[in-house]
Structure 1
Amino acid sequence: MATLQRHPDKLRNRTVLLIAGTGGIGKGVASALLGRGARIILTSTRQAKLDETISQLLQLYPEVPQTNVSGYTLDLGSTSVEDNIRTMVEKLKKDGIEKIDHLAYFAGDPLSMMQLEDITLDSWLKASQVRTISCILVVKHLVPLLRAAGPATSQCSPSVTLTSGAVGDKPIPGGWTLTAMITASLYGAARQLALDLKPLRVNVVSPGVVDTELWSGMSEEQRNGFYEETKKKMPTGRVGDVQDVAESYLWCMSDGNVTGEVVRTNSGSLLV
């Protein structure tokens, strides 16, 4: 029988790589991890975005050593994506990063809204590249660094956390076919990878509507109207907040007993 012990802070001094961690939910998770004492590595397509985000995070946490936050450019939308990933991994190793404890993937292009009759092979591939194809390639090339973190212990159990979306569970009328297919496929990928990569843990977080720049394609008036209508429907009476949703990722990293799971954080949207 287990004896009562002081509860460990399982993320303190752990190294976490956040793919596309400079915006939206990824940025929120980065902030939460720094608050828990982790070392974070961010990626972004643009160096300017990396510099801006790192500066903001260090201002929020002045007590954090600057060496605890670093960043690398990584273009996940190009045809040379696999070479781009290899180059990033080589840079990590050159900078002395021989292992990572956790990997989280947040990358995603703007949502692909189109009717079935408008879908082409090119539009399908474009919609899938960043959210699924590049996701799998990132995991493929980062597995050796995750394995290098060593075997799972009660203090740290290396993990991968993917990001999907609630439309994979509940269809929405009107042009969501591609997005529904992509998000649902990530559920299957996480479960399969959890078996294929064991004892590495693999999970996927599935957010509902969250107040992020994902909806920036709308005007402010449209966005506010969309949020208000969403709030009326949700059992929680609110849309998701990045700080709340970030906790789902931290749980996936911290709980060494969870793998192959779809972690839903959606304001109760599946109940209505």
Structure 2
Amino acid sequence: MSTIQRHPDKLADRSVLLIAGTGGIGKAVASALLSRGAKVILTSTRQAKLDDTVSQLLQLYPEKSASHVTGYTLDLGSQSVEDNIKTLVTNLKKDGITKLDHLIYLAGDPLPTFALEDITLESWAKASQVRTISCILCIKHLIPFLRAAGPATAQCSPSITLTGGSVSDKPIPGGWTLLAMIAASLNGAARQLALDLKPIRVNTVAPGIVDTDLWSGMDEAARNKLFDDAAKTLPTGRVGDVQDVAESYLWCMCDGNVTGEVVRTNSGSLLV
């Protein structure tokens, strides 16, 4: 007869790098990780935003030392993005960080919608750079840190989690072609990488409508109307909250039996 075992805390003392971790979902994931005893490493394009996020997190968790939350600048939108990633790698090593247990890629520009007739090669490339091209380049240069974490065990199974969107499953009228293609490509990339990088696990979290700064391009009244209208049709009765969505990332890290999956957190939007 099997015996009941004490459930392990699989995130305690684990090092987790959140690429572009100073947005709404990133902050929620970082907060959840700190609550579970993990060590959080953040990147952001702007030093001021990075400093502010680190400061807020340390205020929320005063029992944590500064070594539990660190940050580095990383510009994913420039033409020199690969050099920028190499600089991040150099700085991590310089600070004694030689292994990572988990990597989370959260980067995304404010949602760029285009009518089909307005799509150009330039707009296509710009929409793809941060969300897909820079994502693959980050994995390319950071995979040695995950391999250095050692073989997968029941206590810790190294992972990469990408961030897609529910538009890959459910089209949205009005200029979402590029974003649907990008989201679908991230789902495919995670499945392929799960094979290519095994036993490192790779998954994608696909949020639906979530109240984050990704909607900052809309004025407040339009944004509130969008959320209110959506809430009337969603089975949960509300749009997603970043703390809800953070749980999906934690699950991808903690469940060593999941890889090559798309984790959907979308208020039930695929049902209506």
- Bin of the TM-score, shorter chain as denominator length: over 0.9
Aligned AA (1:174): G
Paired with 1:108 and 1:2, the residues of 2 have a C-alpha distance of 46
User: Which residue number in structure 2 is paired with residue 268 of structure 1?
Assistant: 268
Whether 2:43 is the aligned partner of 1:43: answer yes
Paired with 2:27 and 2:212, the residues of 1 have a C-alpha distance of 10
User: Which residue number in structure 2 is paired with residue 209 of structure 1?
Assistant: 209
Paired with 1:44 and 1:23, the residues of 2 have a C-alpha distance of 9
| 62-71 or 2-11: bigger deviation | 2-11
SS in 2 for 1:97: coil
User: Which residue number in structure 2 is paired with residue 113 of structure 1?
Assistant: 113
User: Which residue number in structure 1 is paired with residue 168 of structure 2?
Assistant: 168
Deviations 1:170-223 (A, max 9, x none): 011111000000001000000000000000000000000001111111111111
SS in 2 for 1:204: strand
User: Which residue number in structure 2 is paired with residue 69 of structure 1?
Assistant: 69
> Gaps (5+ residues) in structure 2?
none
Q: Percent identity?
A: 77
1:80-229 pair list within 5 angstroms? 80-229=80-229
Aligned AA (2:158): P
Q: What value does the CA root-mean-square deviation take over the aligned residues?
A: 0.8
Paired with 1:197 and 1:48, the residues of 2 have a C-alpha distance of 35
Paired with 1:200 and 1:67, the residues of 2 have a C-alpha distance of 26
User: Which residue number in structure 2 is paired with residue 17 of structure 1?
Assistant: 17
Deviations 1:80-109 (A, max 9, x none): 101100110011001000100000000001
How many positions carry a matched residue from both structures?
Answer: 272
How far has the Cα of 1:3 moved from its partner?
Answer: 3.4
- TM-score when scaled to structure 2? 0.99
SS in 1 for 2:257: coil
Deviations 1:128-151 (A, max 9, x none): 000000001001111000000000
How far has the Cα of 1:23 moved from its partner?
Answer: 1.2
Aligned AA (2:114): M
Give structure 1 regions of 4+ aligned residues with deviation exceeding 3 angstroms.
Answer: none
User: Which residue number in structure 1 is paired with residue 8 of structure 2?
Assistant: 8
> Gaps (5+ residues) in structure 1?
none
Alpha carbons of 1:198 and 1:218: their partners in 2 closer, same or farther (altered >3 Å)? same
SS in 2 for 1:172: coil
How far has the Cα of 1:159 moved from its partner?
Answer: 0.2
Paired with 1:136 and 1:3, the residues of 2 have a C-alpha distance of 43
Aligned AA (1:52): D
- TM-score when scaled to structure 1? 0.99
SS in 1 for 2:22: coil
User: Which residue number in structure 2 is paired with residue 241 of structure 1?
Assistant: 241
Paired with 2:110 and 2:22, the residues of 1 have a C-alpha distance of 15
